[in-house]
Amino acid sequence: MVDANWVELGDVNELREPGLRVVEIGKRKFALSFKDGQCGLIDNVCNHVGGPLGEGKLDGDYVVCPWHHWKFHRCTGEGEPGFEEDKVPGFTLKEEGGKLFVDLNSGTNRIVGISTTAMDAKPTRCSAGQPWSRGLQSPHGKARRRATLWATSYSWVCLRFRSLPLGA
């Protein structure tokens, strides 16, 4: 028997369609994926600028945001390798009686109005969507990559690049 912490998502057979989609529980939206016989459920809101993850695509085990190509593991919500700290909430699922259930208490809470990126002791993370990053130059011309920049007060500490697929 499923306890009060578990909420029904629907019939398992209907939810086991390969790929990615948006599902709603009340007013909250989630990105539901099905791959290799396993369902995964993460929050539908991308950490970058709030893109709808469930409207993106799957790249292996990663959900790719349709807006700026950030990637999150489809089950755990962790960012792609090297960017694990960009985690979005991932939720525990279980099947019972032909239904799929989610434990909404298993995901990390987010605070609306404050950065949705994991808050820790690291310096502030700035988005490559900021105006100063447009037209960023590499030795070979304009970079076709997303920059991740850490700032401390007024001095720049580190510049890391996230590769984007060509044509993005």
Residue 119 domain-assigned? no
58: helix, strand or coil = strand
73, 81 contact by CB (below 8 A): no
Model confidence pLDDT, tens digit, residues 121-162 = 444 444 444 333 334 444 444 444 444 444 433 444 455 556
Model confidence pLDDT, tens digit, residues 12-28 = 999 999 999 999 998 99
Domain around 81: 6-106
Q: How far apart are CA 133 and CA 145, in angstroms?
A: 10
Q: How many domains does the chain have?
A: 2
Residue 116 domain-assigned? no
Give the β-pairing of 145-152 and 124-126. Answer: antiparallel
Lookup: tokens for 99:
């239904």
Lookup: tokens for 90:
């991932």
Model confidence pLDDT, tens digit, residues 1-59 = 567 789 999 999 999 999 999 999 989 999 999 999 999 999 999 988 899 999 999 99
Neighbours of 6 (CB within 10 A): 20
Lookup: tokens for 13:
């057979």
Model confidence pLDDT, tens digit, residues 59-109 = 999 999 999 999 999 999 999 999 988 899 999 999 999 999 999 999 877
Q: Which amino acid is at 142?
A: K
Secondary structure string (H, E, C) spanning 152-168: ECCEEEEEEEEECCCCC
Do 86 and 32 fall within a single domain?
A: yes
Do 81 and 156 fall within a single domain?
A: no
Find the CATH number of the domain harbouring 90: 2.102.10.10
Residue 85 domain-assigned? yes
